[in-house]
A = this chain, B = another copy of it.
Amino acid sequence: MPSHARHQLNVLSATRLSQLLGRGEATSVAIVESCLARIEARDATLRAWAHIDRDLALAQARARDPEPRRSPLHGVPIGIKDIFDTYDMPTSHGSKAFSGHRPTADSGIVALMRRAGLVILGKCATTEFATPIPIGVGNPHDLGRSPGVSSSGSAASVADDMAPLSLGSQTGGSTILPASFCGVVGFKASLTGLDRGGMRHLRPTLDSMGLFAREVADIALLNSILSGRNAVEPPNDVAQLRIGVCHTVNWSHAEPETIVALDSAAEALRGAGARVTDAEMPPVFDDIEQSFQVIATAEGARTMASDVAAHGATMNHWLQEMRRTGSTIDAGRYEKAQLHAIECQRALGEIFARCDVIITPSACGEATRDLKGVSDSAFNRIWTLMHGPCISIPAFKGPHGMPVGIQVVGPVGSDARTIALAQCISGVLA
Contacts and interface: CB of A to CB of B under 8 A. Distances in A.
Interface stretch (A96-104, A163-171, A356-364): A96-104
A331 B230 contact: yes
Interface stretch (A7-15, A256-264, A298-306): A298-306
A374 interface: no
Chain copies in the assembled complex:
2
Interface stretch (A52-60, A194-202, A233-241, A281-289): A194-202
Interface in A196-217: 196-201, 204-205, 207
A98 to B, nearest CB: 9
A41 interface: no
A334 B229 contact: yes
B228 A302 contact: yes
A277 interface: no
Interface residues of A, number: 40
Interface string A98-136: 000111111010011011000000000000000000000
Interface string A131-143: 0000000000000
A144 interface: no
Contact of A195 (B103, B108, B204, B305): B204
A192 interface: yes
A349 interface: no
Interface in A217-234: 224, 228-230
A413 interface: yes
B306 A108 contact: no
B200 A105 contact: yes
